[in-house]
Amino acid sequence: MMEPTSGHHSKFPPPAVSVRELEKVYGRGSASVRALGGVSIDFDAGTFTAVMGQSGSGKSTLLQCAAGLEAPTAGTVTLAGTELAGLSESALTVLRRSRVGFVFQAYNLVSALTVRENILLPTRLGRVRADRQRLAQIAERVGLTNRLRHRPAQLSGGEQQRVAIARALFTNPDVVFCDEPTGALDSTSAARVLDLLRESVDIDAGTVVMVTHDPTAASYADRVVTLADGHIADDLSAPDVGTIADRLARLGARGADGSERCTGPSPA
């Protein structure tokens, strides 16, 4: 199939996130860096997608553009049925606040606020009344019911990430973007975090798009998309850890050879 990858499921309902011909260039003139060179992809609702690639492949840039945190140089992004192109910063923020969740690798939480306040932050800034029951539910789901009054400094790295996920899930968003959420965690905490993400897709019918370099983390996903040099190099469906690691290694070897990059899924 040479057409741009679309969802493996039927075209109805519409994808949660859809990007077309997305390009991003940083810097100007001789110092410019082409992070994305025309990427088109749909992320279907109710799926867990992992985006992988070597550093410099453009995966974080893809995530940030898709989430509206970064403005693309060219191309369109449609998020939760809305095109992001013409929106002002304020409108983008309002959209992100209620329909999108974001989990970074580190520095997710405002250190001055308690866990509870951090979780409720998007809601409060959106002037919406916080649902206490939902807060209790989410807190239990992430396993931090007893830590609600503590500050981030009193939590471990894994616990902080779980708070970030709680915050992301609290508003019941259309899609949750995660940028290397388990990068700084040990395997147990990482497993807990990934379980939470998996649950949100399986139980709540949410959508998760996760950038990662860890094949184990990627194995939790329904679909693994690999980027290389700003283009999609690979698109696998429900792979296991071994296949993923294999693909990555091959990509790395090919890159080291200096051979041309792929523009579509490679033959298995």
Which stretches of the chain bind another protein, using CB under 8 A? 64, 69-71, 89-90, 93-94, 96-97, 102, 104, 107-108, 110-113, 117, 121-122, 124-126, 167
Cβ closest to another protein, residue 82 vs residue 216: 82
Distance separating alpha carbons of residues 151 and 22, to the nearest angstrom: 39
The C-alpha angle 93, 34, 88, rounded to 5 degrees, equals 20
* Min dist. Cβ of residue 217 to another protein (A): 21
Whose tokens are 């471990």? That residue is 156
Kind and range of the H or E run holding 3: none
* Min dist. Cβ of residue 10 to another protein (A): 33
Note the Cα 119 to chain centre separation in Å: 18
Under a CB-based contact definition with an 8 Å cutoff, are residues 199 and 152 in contact? no
* Min dist. Cβ of residue 87 to another protein (A): 12
* Min dist. Cβ of residue 211 to another protein (A): 13
Cβ closest to another protein, residue 97 vs residue 150: 97
Strand partners, 43: 17
* Min dist. Cβ of residue 9 to another protein (A): 30
Gyration radius from the chain CA atoms: 18
Cβ closest to another protein, residue 48 vs residue 170: 170
Cβ closest to another protein, residue 47 vs residue 123: 123
The token pair at 222 is 């329904």
Please give the single-letter amino acid code of residue 61: T
* Min dist. Cβ of residue 95 to another protein (A): 11
Distance separating alpha carbons of residues 18 and 138, to the nearest angstrom: 28
Cβ closest to another protein, residue 154 vs residue 263: 154
Cα maximum dimension of the chain: 56
Cβ closest to another protein, residue 61 vs residue 189: 61
In 3D space, the residue among 251, 237, 264, 246 whose CA is nearest the CA of residue 54 turns out to be 251
